[in-house]
Amino acid sequence: MLATAMSLTALAAPAAAEPQVPVLWDQKERLPKPDLSAMPRLRFLTTTDFPPFNFIDKNGRLSGFHVDLARAICAELGIPEKCQIQALPWAELDGALKAGEGEALIAGVPATADNREQYAFSRPYLQFPARFIMKKPQAVTEPLVDKLAGKRVGVIAGSAHERVLRDYFPQVQAVTFSKPEWLFGDLKADKLDAVFGDGMRLSFWLAGTEAEGCCRFAGGPYLAPEYLGTGLAIAAKPDDQRLAEAFDYALHEISAKGTFAELYLRYFPVSFY
């Protein structure tokens, strides 16, 4: 049932142990370079409570992946001196954009069908794949469908990842949990053969002290847009498609030049790809 032609796409697993970086852009594609020299400013609006994407560091400065990405975008567009980044509470972002207090939102606004009526979005710059993690001695490689048949796989109850697991890995024995700590505890205690969930959150656990180096990713990563969304994109005002396309150009160039990879590995040293 698992196939790259279907809604669940299993990306090629690395043969080496090097961290993998997501590449969402066709390097052969050529996008026109925009001229934003007439813009008086380019202010990105974000939040402070979504680490490692945006947060206040120990010196009281706004920091994070989104902050550095916004600066890289401005540099690629040739307007670093016009670049501004302002943090607001999540509930105030939309009103601030509509009021002209900023030109773009870089804060994890999902590019859903409803939101596409409210904003002009760039193409996605980061997607969140589903992943399996297993104890290191038992970790297996692709293809996992047959290798996990009959195995006990933990997943958060009612989550999109539970739906993916049941729909695309029907041979496994899905075991649901209401709390992540119980899920991880049973994996470490050998009461589960594997855990399935959001790759980014799993990478944080693997890198943390609670995991105690017990486990690693197995197989995958898996992209399932119908279940997990299309990823992160930058939102502009709905009538500012030109700015959204300028972001596309900058993001493409940032990817091609390796800048995106550098930023990704800075904030996600245990890659979820």
- Reduce the secondary structure of 220-250 to three states and give it as a string: EEEECHHHHCCCECCEECCCCHHHHHHHHHH
In this model, does residue 39 exceed pLDDT 90?
Answer: yes
Rounded alpha-carbon distances, angstroms, from residue 135 to 109, 197, 199, 234: 34, 15, 16, 37
* Residue 273: DSSP 8-state: -
Residue 131 CA to its chain's centroid (Å): 13
pLDDT for the residue 7? 54
End-to-end distance of the chain based on CA atoms, in angstroms?
A: 22
Question: What's the CA gap between 78 and 76, in Å, rounded?
Answer: 5
Question: Under 8 Å CB-to-CB from 157, ≥6 apart: which residues?
Answer: 176, 177, 178
In this model, does residue 12 exceed pLDDT 80?
Answer: no
- All structural domains of the chain: 21-126+231-267 (3.40.190.10), 130-228 (3.40.190.10)
| DSSP code per residue over 128-196 | --EEEEEEGGG---S-HHHHTTT-EEEEETTSHHHHHHHHH-TTSEEEEESSHHHHHHHHHTTS-SEEE
pLDDT in tens, 96-148: 999 999 999 999 888 888 999 999 999 999 999 999 999 999 999 999 999 99
Percent of the chain at pLDDT > 70 equals 93
pLDDT for the residue 18? 55
* Better-scored residue on pLDDT, 65 or 10: 65
Q: What's the pTM value of the predicted model, to 2 decimals?
A: 0.88
Question: What's the CA gap between 87 and 262, in Å, rounded?
Answer: 24
pLDDT for the residue 68? 98
In this model, does residue 28 exceed pLDDT 90?
Answer: no
pLDDT for the residue 9? 67
Rounded alpha-carbon distances, angstroms, from residue 26 to 155, 210, 246, 258: 33, 38, 16, 13
Amino acid at 35: D
* Better-scored residue on pLDDT, 93 or 6: 93
Mean pLDDT of 60-80: 97
Rounded alpha-carbon distances, angstroms, from residue 158 to 31, 126, 162, 175, 179: 41, 24, 6, 11, 11
Mean pLDDT of 266-273: 92
- Quickly state the pLDDT bin for 80 (edges 50, 70, 90): very high
Question: Under 8 Å CB-to-CB from 51, ≥6 apart: which residues?
Answer: 64
pLDDT for the residue 26? 85
In this model, does residue 238 exceed pLDDT 70?
Answer: yes
Evaluated on CA atoms 212, 217, 222, 223, the torsion sign reads positive
- Quickly state the pLDDT bin for 23 (edges 50, 70, 90): confident
- Quickly state the pLDDT bin for 10 (edges 50, 70, 90): low
pLDDT in tens, 191-234: 999 999 999 999 999 999 999 999 999 998 999 999 999 999 99
| Largest pairwise CA distance in the chain | 62
Q: Which stretch of 3-7, 100-104, 128-132, 269-273 has the lowest confidence by average pLDDT?
A: 3-7
Mean pLDDT of 165-187: 97
Angle at the Cα of 34 (from 236 to 32), degrees rounded to 5?
110
pLDDT for the residue 110? 86
260 C-beta neighbours (distance < 10 Å), count: 23
- Mean pLDDT over the full length of the chain: 92
